[in-house]
């Protein structure tokens, strides 16, 4: 191997532990973990950050992030973050939540944290399905999408409509920065990292509640190849969940 | 508020002031009757002290805010009443599993369901058996005066820190609303001067990162964790049992009651003693750990234990466990809302006394 090649091999950020993740092949979590870890490293906030993992596939996030972490009961990430941040305004506090955790059981907590303008950051991973429990319908499951608990496909009159979290939070006074991105392409991954950095910066500047919603593939439960799942995000998911900055009080609403 | 001087305080205010004096740094709560005065008191006082007060969107959120703040080593409290405490049980289970110190006040009201807002003691099972899912306990204090509300709240913070356990103040609507003279015996603690907690989170400056969790997937490790909690519970059972006795020397019948019921019982027992009956009172101050050993020993001479509860009978189970069949145990329960007078209760004691003594003749 040439020296040039060695240099190019991406180093593990100092904010990640030397561990092999338990995530399925093609899952977006590993990529998103790395992006969050890189941002924490680049902002130099590793030693004053507290992370809150969810119940769900990312429950073991504390095995991967090399920052202080405390587990939240299912859906309560925003409330746990609120307690940490209110007691310790000098710390940087983030929760990492999936769509079931944040948009079903934890809806009240996230809405009120956003409305109070809690100065916290939420990394919201939307893969339209309950991953850890084995592929049940999520609040973000698309219409027509088959899951183990919507076996003939989700229909609005029977299972309700997909929840658009960013748009929901945008109308609240306390939300400062909301962006939706996707990690199904190199470009999207770079954009996602920028959004995560912006979200943490929003907190560091004391501007209030920030959340990045990341469309993320779940090949296992979507029963697709990783490649097909990337395409599916482009072709299907983005129609329901359009990408972009949904709200940014830093430069007027987008 | 001044120390050392007597002042007239409502129960809920005494809890609040005591918490502030104990160095409580964060309070999270959601309104529910009959404990709103406590939440309101904290709103005012925490602001004055430049500490954290937050009215949450639900009891679920409040207890999880407690979890977050406690994980960073803060002294933290929440309060509610029965239906709200049911909602908090999810968080209490996690807090117990993660061994996070916290003080939880339950100003009990009538149940089940919405019940009513009158004083009640029907949350005894919930309080003393952990309350949420899993194998755990909370240290439970049952104050019977406003002074004791103040003293035990103050101490609850120290015990919570010492054992890394949720501590519950189990009061009721009457305790909360009652006004009595209170003396604060100790100087207020400066939260900045509280001993640091080596296990707490606060950013990994100068050390490696750490995490606090309750998920332990490895069955061997989970069993070990449970046994560790069990050993802690045993230490608490050995050291922290508290009770009060009244006129127990030579008593043939012992009334067992706690909190508001114990006040009524004391007055009723006095009436019976005035009529030359050998009746005494055992008042558990800690409901968990329960004074098992003491009641077992008392059963050597006491012929009958009459438990008086403002419920359909919950503490009576612990009395029976303690007595181990060595004496009779019966219940006078008033569930729902009716708080009997000392005169009413003394008639019940007299009836029981006469019956028991007749059986022994």
Instruction: Taking residues A185-210, report their average pLDDT.
Output: 98
Which pLDDT value is given to residue A244? 98
Which pLDDT value is given to residue B338? 77
Which pLDDT value is given to residue A67? 98
Binning pLDDT at 50, 70 and 90, where does residue A253 land? very low
Q: Give the minimum alpha-carbon distance from B253 to chain A in angstroms, rounded to a whole number.
A: 47
Q: In chain A, what percentage of residues exceed pLDDT 70? A: 95
Contact A71 B211 (CB under 8 A): yes
Which pLDDT value is given to residue A233? 98
Choose between B316 and B336: higher pLDDT. B316
The packing angle between helices B219-239 and B146-163, to 10°, is 140
The partner residue sitting opposite A91, judged by closest CB among B60, B66, B203, is B203
Closest residue in A to B207 (Cα) is A47
As a whole number of Å, the CA-based R_g of chain A is 17
Instruction: Taking residues A88-92, report their average pLDDT.
Output: 98
Which pLDDT value is given to residue A1? 44
- Furthest C-alpha separation in chain A: 60
> Domain coordinates of chain B in residue numbers?
7-239, 244-360
What is chain A's mean pLDDT, rounded? Answer: 95
Which pLDDT value is given to residue A51? 98
Q: What is the pLDDT of residues A15-54, one digit of tens each?
A: 999 999 999 999 999 999 999 999 999 999 999 999 999 9
Binning pLDDT at 50, 70 and 90, where does residue B336 land? confident
User: Residue A248, SS3?
Assistant: strand
Instruction: Taking residues B135-142, report their average pLDDT.
Output: 98
Q: Which of B60, B211, B213, B216 to mutate to test the interface with A (most CBs of A within 10 A)?
A: B211
Which pLDDT value is given to residue B3? 59
What is chain B's mean pLDDT, rounded? Answer: 96
Q: Which fold has domain B244-360?
A: Rossmann fold (3.40.50)
Binning pLDDT at 50, 70 and 90, where does residue A11 land? confident
User: Residue B311, SS3?
Assistant: coil
Instruction: Taking residues B28-34, report their average pLDDT.
Output: 97
Cis peptide before B145 (omega within 30 of 0): no
Q: Give the minimum alpha-carbon distance from B62 to chain A in angstroms, rounded to a whole number.
A: 7
Which pLDDT value is given to residue A9? 60
Q: Could you give phi then psi for residue B75, rounded to 5 degrees? A: -80, 125
Q: What is the 3-state secondary structure (H, E, C) of A202-242?
A: HHHCCCCEEEEEEECCCHHHHCCCHHHHHHHHHHHHHHHCC
With CA atoms as reference, report the closest residue to B309 among B128, B186, B133, B158: B128
Q: Does the structure show a pLDDT above 70 at A4?
A: no
Q: Give the minimum alpha-carbon distance from A49 to chain B in angstroms, rounded to a whole number.
A: 5
CATH number of B7-239: 3.40.50.970
Q: Is B203 on the interface with A (CB under 8 A)?
A: yes
Q: Does the structure show a pLDDT above 50 at B183?
A: yes
Q: Does the structure show a pLDDT above 70 at B277?
A: yes
Which pLDDT value is given to residue B361? 75
Q: Does the structure show a pLDDT above 70 at A72?
A: yes
Q: Which fold has domain A23-248?
A: Rossmann fold (3.40.50)
Q: What is the pLDDT of residues A101-151, one digit of tens each?
A: 999 999 999 999 999 999 999 999 999 999 999 999 999 999 999 999 999
Q: Does the structure show a pLDDT above 70 at A254?
A: no
Q: Give the minimum alpha-carbon distance from B74 to chain A in angstroms, rounded to a whole number.
A: 7
User: Residue A28, SS3?
Assistant: coil
Chain B partners within 8 Å of A46 (Cβ): 204, 209
The packing angle between helices B59-71 and B82-97, to 10°, is 30
Output the six-digit token pair for B215: 């998920």
Q: Does the structure show a pLDDT above 70 at B128?
A: yes
Q: Is B221 on the interface with A (CB under 8 A)?
A: no
What's A105's DSSP letter? Answer: I
Q: Give the minimum alpha-carbon distance from B51 to chain A in angstroms, rounded to a whole number.
A: 8
Q: Give the minimum alpha-carbon distance from B87 to chain A in angstroms, rounded to a whole number.
A: 13
Contact A68 B69 (CB under 8 A): no
Which pLDDT value is given to residue B250? 96
How many other C-beta atoms lie within 10 A of the C-beta of residue A113?
A: 32
Q: Does the structure show a pLDDT above 50 at B254?
A: yes
Contact B72 A62 (CB under 8 A): no
Q: What is the pLDDT of residues B310-331, one digit of tens each?
A: 999 999 999 999 999 999 999 9
Chain B partners within 8 Å of A69 (Cβ): 201, 209, 211-213
Bridge partners of B343, per DSSP, are none
Contact B64 A72 (CB under 8 A): yes
Q: Is B74 on the interface with A (CB under 8 A)?
A: yes
Contact B206 A47 (CB under 8 A): yes
Which pLDDT value is given to residue B351? 97
Contact A83 B70 (CB under 8 A): yes
Q: Does the structure show a pLDDT above 60 at A157?
A: yes
Binning pLDDT at 50, 70 and 90, where does residue A6 land? low
Tell me the whole-structure pTM to 2 decimals: 0.96
Q: Does the structure show a pLDDT above 50 at B253?
A: yes
- In CATH terms, are B7-239 and B244-360 the same topology? yes
Contacts with B325 (C-beta within 8 Å, 6 or more apart), sequence order: none
Chains A and B: how many Cβ contacts under 8 Å?
Answer: 132
Chain A partners within 8 Å of B68 (Cβ): 52, 70, 72, 79-85, 87
Which pLDDT value is given to residue B239? 98
With CA atoms as reference, report the closest residue to B49 among B24, B83, B76, B71: B24
Q: Is B202 on the interface with A (CB under 8 A)?
A: yes
Residue pair B30/B57 in contact (Cβ under 8 Å)? The answer is yes
Which pLDDT value is given to residue B55? 98
Distance CA B271, CA B275 (A): 7
Binning pLDDT at 50, 70 and 90, where does residue B89 land? very high
Contact B56 A112 (CB under 8 A): yes
With CA atoms as reference, report the closest residue to A112 among A175, A62, A53: A175
């Amino acid at each position: 191997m040439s020296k040039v090649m060695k240099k190019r091999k991406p180093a593990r950020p100092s904010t990640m532990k030397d561990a092999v993740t338990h995530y399925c092949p093609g899952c977006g979590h590993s990529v998103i973990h790395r992006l969050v870890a890189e941002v924490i490293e680049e902002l130099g906030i590793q030693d004053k950050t507290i992370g809150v993992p969810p119940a769900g596939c990312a429950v073991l996030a504390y095995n991967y992030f090399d920052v202080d972490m405390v587990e939240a009961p299912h859906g309560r990430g925003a409330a746990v973050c609120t307690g940490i941040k209110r007691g310790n305004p000098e710390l940087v506090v983030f929760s990492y939540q999936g769509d079931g955790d944040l948009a079903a059981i934890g809806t009240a907590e996230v809405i009120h944290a956003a409305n109070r303008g809690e100065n916290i950051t939420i990394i919201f991973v939307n893969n339209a399905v309950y991953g850890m429990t084995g592929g049940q319908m999520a609040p973000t499951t698309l219409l027509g999408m088959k899951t183990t608990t919507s076996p003939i496909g989700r229909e609005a009159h029977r299972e309700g409509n997909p929840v658009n979290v960013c748009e929901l939070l945008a109308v609240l006074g306390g939300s400062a920065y909301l962006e939706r991105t996707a990690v199904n392409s190199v470009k999207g991954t770079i954009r996602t990292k920028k959004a995560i950095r912006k979200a943490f910066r929003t907190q560091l500047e004391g501007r209030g509640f920030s959340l990045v919603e990341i469309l993320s593939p779940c090949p296992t439960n979507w029963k697709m190849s990783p490649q097909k799942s990337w395409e599916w995000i482009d072709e299907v998911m983005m129609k329901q969940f359009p990408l972009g900055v949904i709200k940014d009080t830093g430069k007027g609403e987008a | 508020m001044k120390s050392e001087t007597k002042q007239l305080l409502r129960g809920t205010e005494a809890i609040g002031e005591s918490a502030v004096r104990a160095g409580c740094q964060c309070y999270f709560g959601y309104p529910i009757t009959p404990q709103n005065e406590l939440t309101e008191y904290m709103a005012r006082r925490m602001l004055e002290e430049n500490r954290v007060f937050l009215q949450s969107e639900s009891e679920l959120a409040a207890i999880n805010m407690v979890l977050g703040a406690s994980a960073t080593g803060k002294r933290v409290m929440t309060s509610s009443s029965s239906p709200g405490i049911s909602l908090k049980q999810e968080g209490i289970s996690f807090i117990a599993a993660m061994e996070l110190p916290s003080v939880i006040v339950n100003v009990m009201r009538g149940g089940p369901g919405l019940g009513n807002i009158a004083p009640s003691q029907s949350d005894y099972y919930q309080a003393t058996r952990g309350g949420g899912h899993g194998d755990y306990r909370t240290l439970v204090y049952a104050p019977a005066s406003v002074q004791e509300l103040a003293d035990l709240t103050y101490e609850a913070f120290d015990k919570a820190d010492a054992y890394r356990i949720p501590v519950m103040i189990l009061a009721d609507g009457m305790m909360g609303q009652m006004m009595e003279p209170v003396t604060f015996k100790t100087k207020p603690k400066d939260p900045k001067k509280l001993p640091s907690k080596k296990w707490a989170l606060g950013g990994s400056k100068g050390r490696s990162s750490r995490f606090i969790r309750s998920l332990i997937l490895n069955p061997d490790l989970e069993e070990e964790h449970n046994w560790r909690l069990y050993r802690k519970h045993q230490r608490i059972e050995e050291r922290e049992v508290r009770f009060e006795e009244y006129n127990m020397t030579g008593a043939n019948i012992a009334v067992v009651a706690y909190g508001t019921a114990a006040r009524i019982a004391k007055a009723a027992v006095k009436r019976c003693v005035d009529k030359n009956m050998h009746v005494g009172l055992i008042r558990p101050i800690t409901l968990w750990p329960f004074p098992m050993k003491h009641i077992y020993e008392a059963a050597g001479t006491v012929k009958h234990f009459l438990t008086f509860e403002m419920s359909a009978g919950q503490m009576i189970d612990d009395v029976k466990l303690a007595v181990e069949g060595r004496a009779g145990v019966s219940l006078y329960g008033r569930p729902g809302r009716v708080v009997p007078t000392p005169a009413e209760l003394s008639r019940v004691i007299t009836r029981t006394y006469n019956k028991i003594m007749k059986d022994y003749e």
